[in-house]
């Protein structure tokens, strides 16, 4: 009997202990313990880069560089523990209000990151996808995003990178597409099918670092029944151990989807 079948036969209280037992068996941090089918998709609001840099007397851009390194490390860990989908909030529709120097640095980080993805994609199991209103980006960057998406489309771990993303913009865009298609009335399924995340299941768990307790326009439609986990850790300090802690909290919750 496989471990997964055995878990399904346990009662709910026992199920909640599933991840805790796994944690007790090994030391904390980067253990690579695999998740089960209840947890397929984690989304991250990577907050706290600016404060992390300021605490070190450095410009905010320094925090974003370290935040990007943390993002790569956490991405590798999420893939390793058997998640199927990961979504990160890298740049919102509101983030253009930041000083131009900071915006330029974040854009340069994306561009460098995509170049790196091309170099490493052979060994990676990652399908890179960019979600958001991409029309604002220069044609060269859009072409690279599109190319890396197409060339990794056969890979099993889907990584959605939300750039110029806003939940309200996404829903509005879906409605406008439906109007263009000539719909008079729409269903929830119609809207879901026109979101940027169209072929991903909604996130089971949304993790926000940086000590703020809000959704900040992230995955508004998709998060209807997501579990949230908030931590004060600033994103550049976020580690595999913090992923484990978020997962432990998730397994301790009972998802009822409005039922009892
Ligand atoms: C929020 O922290 C962070 C951002 C708006 C940018 C996030 C970008 C990265 C982590 C780089 C990602 C890179 C790739 C390649 C996807 P903040 O600046 O709002 O921090 P603060 O709340 O401390 O000011």
Pairwise pLDDT comparison (76 vs 28), residue with the higher score: 76
Are 85 and 128 in contact by the 8 Å Cβ rule? The answer is no
**Domain count of the fold of the chain:** 1
Q: What's the CA gap between 209 and 237, in Å, rounded?
A: 9
Element containing residue 86 per DSSP (H, E)? strand 85-92
Tell me, using a 6 A CB cutoff, whether residue 207 lines ligand 1: no
Does the residue 19 lie in any domain?
no
CB-side neighbour CA atoms (13 Å) of 161: 24
Beta strands of 134-198 (E only): which ranges? 157-165
**How far apart are the CA of 120 and the centre of ligand 1, in A?**
23
Q: What is the DSSP letter of 210?
A: S
Q: Quick one: pLDDT at residue 8?
A: 35
Which tens digits make up the pLDDT trace of 135-188? 999 999 999 999 999 999 999 999 999 999 999 999 999 999 999 999 999 999
Q: How many CB atoms lie within 10 A of CB 18?
A: 19
Element containing residue 206 per DSSP (H, E)? strand 205-208
Which tens digits make up the pLDDT trace of 101-122? 999 999 999 999 999 989 988 8
In the three-class reduction of DSSP (H, G, I as helix; E, B as strand; rest coil), residue 133 is classed as: coil
Which tens digits make up the pLDDT trace of 29-87? 456 689 999 999 999 999 999 999 999 999 999 999 999 999 999 999 999 999 999 99
Query: Domain of 112: which CATH number?
Result: 3.40.1180.10
Does the residue 7 lie in any domain?
no
Residue among 69, 72, 106 to mutate when testing ligand 1 (max atoms within 8 A of CB)? 106
Structural domain including 107 reads 43-67+79-168+202-211+226-233
């Amino acid at each position: 009997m496989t471990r997964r079948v055995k878990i399904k036969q346990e009662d709910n209280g026992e199920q909640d202990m599933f991840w805790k037992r796994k944690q007790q068996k090994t030391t904390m941090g980067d253990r690579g313990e695999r998740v089960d089918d209840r947890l397929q998709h984690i989304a991250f609001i990577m907050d706290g880069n600016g404060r992390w840099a300021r605490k070190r007397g450095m410009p905010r851009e320094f925090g974003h560089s370290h935040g990007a390194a943390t993002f790569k490390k956490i991405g590798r860990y999420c893939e390793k523990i058997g998640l199927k989908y990961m979504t990160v909030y890298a740049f919102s529709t509101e983030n253009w209000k930041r000083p131009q120097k900071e915006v330029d640095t974040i854009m340069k980080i994306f561009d460098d990151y995509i170049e790196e993805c091309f170099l490493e994609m052979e060994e990676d199991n990652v399908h890179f996808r960019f979600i958001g209103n991409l029309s604002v980006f220069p044609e060269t960057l859009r072409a690279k995003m599109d190319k890396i998406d197409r060339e990794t489309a056969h890979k099993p771990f889907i990584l959605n990178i939300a750039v110029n993303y806003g939940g309200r913009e996404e829903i509005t865009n879906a409605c406008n597409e439906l109007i263009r298609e000539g719909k008079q009335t729409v269903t929830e399924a119609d809207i879901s099918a026109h979101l940027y995340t169209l072929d991903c299941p909604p996130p089971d768990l949304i993790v926000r670092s940086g000590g703020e307790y809000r959704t900040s326009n992230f995955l508004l439609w998709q998060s209807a029944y997501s579990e949230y986990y908030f931590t004060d850790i600033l994103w550049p300090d976020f580690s595999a151990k913090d992923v484990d802690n978020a997962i432990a909290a998730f397994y301790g919750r009972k998802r009822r989807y409005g039922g009892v």
